[in-house]
A and B are shown apart, each in its own frame.
Chain A
Amino acid sequence: MENPTLLRRMMMPHRLIMAAMALAGLVAIIATMQWDWLPAALPRLWQGLQVTLAMLAGSVVTGFMLALPLALFQVMGPSPLRWLSLGFCTVIRGTPLLLQLWLFYFGLGALFAQFPEIRESWAWPYLRQAWPYGFLALTLSFAAYQGEVMRGAFTGVPHGELEAARAVGMSPWLVFRRVWFPRALHRALPTLSGEIILQLKSTPLIATITVTDLYAVTTRIRQTTLLTYEPLLLLVAIYLCLSAILIVGLRWLENRIPTGR
């Protein structure tokens, strides 16, 4: 039922012209530009992609788990924790991620190195690397933004639905698990999708503290091949694909439950 209309929409004249232009551009890019470096670079690109995806997934999952208490403290208190959460979200959201990243890496990283106790501990092999600081900064940033989103989502769940849950004898934890949280999450999903895309586009910042993600790999390729545009165009294509996959996947998730917000 969906397909014929979709096909007809794709066959509109202006669509056809745009598709033809895109195709021509692609052919021109492949034909006139230099791509002989690509096969040799593929393993490195693949590694960079894995680092980028691991950073994205790790910081989104961990950040979201941190966002829940941040949001709940702001909604329900107790007062000291409410102010602490509000302060944390405000500071993180109010400062550039790049700055946080550098403060953690150059600040904390240098600080840790001064303590022999830390240098001799089991954590040092990790703490002397760059990625834990990148991961920390990305996670805290995501937590702060998502904490704010979830705060709004929790407050936005209609009071009556929670009351109905209490009225059938649910404990506060059961109300949270069965009604409050799933409802808030569903309401927050569209915003959450946007935040995940933004997070993907923030990951290249970790290249500035020597984590070899996709962007860092591309930069090295540019330095060794002395090419300006080709690696960057490839990077654009990869990020576009990743964004598209995320958008489609998250929209599918949203549409599974028709709540008519």
Chain B
Amino acid sequence: MNDQPAIVIRDLHKRFGDLQVLKGVSLTANAGEVIAIIGGSGSGKSTLLRCINMLEHPTSGHIAIQGEAYAMRPSRAGGLQPADRRQVQRIRAQLGMVFQNFNLWPHRTVLENVTEAPVHVLGVPRDQAIARARQVLERVGLGEKLQTYPVHLSGGQQQRAAIARVLAIDPLAILFDEPTSALDPELVGEVLGVIRDLADEGRTMVLVTHEMAFARDVASRVIYLRDGRIEEEGTPEQLFGDPQSAHLKQFIRSVM
């Protein structure tokens, strides 16, 4: 690969109708960094994350993945839209995304969920994809559930299968959108354990989360988003140990 940062975001704006959700966010994620994005509801955390793989189209701003900027053109709604669909598909295939609601495909078994993208998007031969899928499912502790349908898994197992689905494409960065918010409290630990392993392995990750203790523990950098802007940014020690902004102090008090 090259030594470009994994993700570069510059002056990102996003508007939904009259609602200004992101008001100029800039952010760089270098290879191996784990960036935790925290903030109250409606602060634009998820929107920011979803712009990185173009599930949301920014109103203005610049996004580049591994040095390759998305080609954008003006949309009819007054914002931007991708100019090259194939480029977006190619970049998405290098990014993994883990959703709050797992979003496994329920008509396919766990194994089929994991081999789907390698086989049908990346064109990996099926037997290789299956071998790789077994390996990543083993890693997330689902080696026994290959032929199970998602509906027969617990929430924690489903989310671990979703993480395996992402690992199967060996992404250059993984985006986590509140991966534990939909889980019963007793199932949160098993999913966080898997994410922690990935962090220790040196994977590049951007993590939107409400688990402050976890963010503090795992992140190399924490970003506090408030009202569409980065209000404070730094190491977990700085942000949680010595918050500067009054809002962040208030926020930390309210959630920890």
A binding-site residues for B, Cβ under 8 Å = 158, 160-161, 163-171, 174, 178-179, 182-183, 186, 257-260
Residues of B within 8 A of A171 (CB): 85-86, 89
Give the Cβ gap from B123 to chain A, nearest Cβ, in Å.
11
Does B194 lie at the interface of the complex (its beta carbon under 8 Å from any beta carbon of A)? Answer: no
Q: By the criterion CB–CB under 8 Å, are A161 and B106 in contact?
A: yes
Give the Cβ gap from A173 to chain B, nearest Cβ, in Å.
11
Residues of B within 8 A of A166 (CB): 55, 92
Q: By the criterion CB–CB under 8 Å, are A169 and B151 in contact?
A: no
Closest 3 pairs (CB-CB, A-B): A169-B93, A164-B103, A260-B151
A259 and B116 CA atoms in complex are apart in Å by 17
Give the Cβ gap from A254 to chain B, nearest Cβ, in Å.
12
Residues of A within 8 A of B92 (CB): 166-169
26 contacts between A and B (CB under 8 A): A158-B103, A160-B99, A160-B101, A161-B105, A164-B97, A166-B92, A167-B92, A167-B95, A167-B97, A168-B117, A168-B121, A169-B89, A169-B94, A169-B117, A170-B89, A170-B120, A171-B86, A171-B89, A178-B116, A178-B120, A183-B106, A186-B107, A257-B149, A259-B106, A259-B149, A260-B106
Q: By the criterion CB–CB under 8 Å, are B99 and A163 in contact?
A: yes
Does B139 lie at the interface of the complex (its beta carbon under 8 Å from any beta carbon of A)? Answer: no
Given A178-B116, A178-B120, A161:B103 Cβ within 8 A: yes
Residues of A within 8 A of B116 (CB): 168, 178
Interface residues of B in 78-94 (CB under 8 A from A): 85-86, 89-94
User: With contacts A158-B103, A168-B169 known, what are 15 further pairs, Cβ within 8 A?
Assistant: A160-B99, A161-B103, A161-B104, A163-B103, A164-B97, A167-B53, A167-B97, A168-B117, A169-B93, A170-B120, A171-B89, A174-B120, A174-B121, A257-B107, A259-B107
Residues of A within 8 A of B90 (CB): 169
B binding-site residues for A, Cβ under 8 Å = 53, 55, 85-86, 89-97, 99, 101, 103-107, 116-117, 120-121, 149, 151-152, 162, 165, 169
Residues of B within 8 A of A160 (CB): 99, 101, 103
Give the Cβ gap from B93 to chain A, nearest Cβ, in Å.
3
Residues of A within 8 A of B165 (CB): 168
Q: By the criterion CB–CB under 8 Å, are A182 and B107 in contact?
A: yes
Residues of A within 8 A of B120 (CB): 170, 174, 178
Q: By the criterion CB–CB under 8 Å, are B105 and A168 in contact?
A: no
Residue from the set B86, B103, B107 with the largest chain A CB neighbour count within 10 Å: B107
Q: By the criterion CB–CB under 8 Å, are A164 and B151 in contact?
A: no
A182 and B106 CA atoms in complex are apart in Å by 10
In this complex, what residue of A is CB-closest to B93? Answer: A169
Give the Cβ gap from A153 to chain B, nearest Cβ, in Å.
13
Residues of B within 8 A of A182 (CB): 107
Give the Cβ gap from A241 to chain B, nearest Cβ, in Å.
31
Residues of B within 8 A of A168 (CB): 92-93, 96, 116-117, 121, 165, 169
Give the Cβ gap from B96 to chain A, nearest Cβ, in Å.
8
